[in-house]
């Protein structure tokens, strides 16, 4: 993966996280609404969209893909500070790079965001996000949180 591709995946992952927080949806629901071709388009447009605010791009994506408000609110009841959407985007982009076979990065993005680990990472009432990234990656690979 080139440095530009890394940046594009980081941007798109952070955007998905941002949209999910704004619309109170599971991250997998956002990816499902956008679809594989939509993800590819977001990656293609990422270099240009970097110049725009997340709010603007998010509004456009929500409108274009008709993403409805959900009820998956993992932020409102948190007592402590939560990681930023950029922090979470970075984590997802690292997992994609580590787990994906060459040429299968888009599918890996969809798989990770649609897996159990995504909801676990999004539960900011726990400390899972702060665990070693290798632990999160291998838990994802094994399909369960490792002991």
Q: Can you tell me the distance from the alpha carbon of 37 to that of 32, in angstroms, rounded to the nearest whole number?
A: 11
pLDDT bin (cut points 50, 70, 90) of residue 40 is very high
147 falls within a domain: no
109 domain residue, yes or no: yes
Residue 43 domain flag = yes
pTM given for the model: 0.95
- What pLDDT does 80 receive? 80
Q: Which domain holds residue 57?
A: 3-142
Mean pLDDT of 66-76: 93
Note whether residue 58 is domain-resident: yes
Domain contains 137: yes
Work out the pLDDT band at 146, boundaries 50, 70, 90: very high
Averaged pLDDT of the chain: 94
Q: Does 56 fall in a domain?
A: yes
| Domains identified in the chain, total number | 1
Residue 69 covered by a domain: yes
Residue 64 lies in a domain: yes
Give 4-34 pLDDT, tens digit per residue: 999 999 999 999 999 999 999 999 999 999 9
């Amino acid at each position: 993966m080139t440095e530009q591709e890394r940046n594009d995946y980081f941007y798109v992952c952070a955007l998905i996280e941002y949209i999910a927080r704004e619309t109170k949806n599971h991250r997998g629901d956002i990816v499902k609404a956008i679809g594989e071709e939509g993800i590819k388009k977001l990656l293609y447009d990422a270099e240009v969209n970097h110049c725009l605010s997340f709010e603007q791009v998010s509004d456009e994506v929500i409108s274009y893909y008709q993403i409805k408000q959900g009820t998956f609110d993992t932020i409102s009841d948190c007592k402590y500070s939560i990681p930023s959407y950029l922090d979470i985007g970075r984590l997802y982009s690292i997992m994609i790079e580590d787990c994906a076979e060459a040429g299968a990065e888009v599918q890996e993005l969809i798989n990770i965001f649609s897996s159990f680990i995504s909801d676990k990472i999004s539960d900011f009432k726990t400390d899972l996000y702060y665990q070693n990234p290798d632990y999160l990656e291998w838990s994802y690979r094994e399909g369960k949180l490792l002991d």
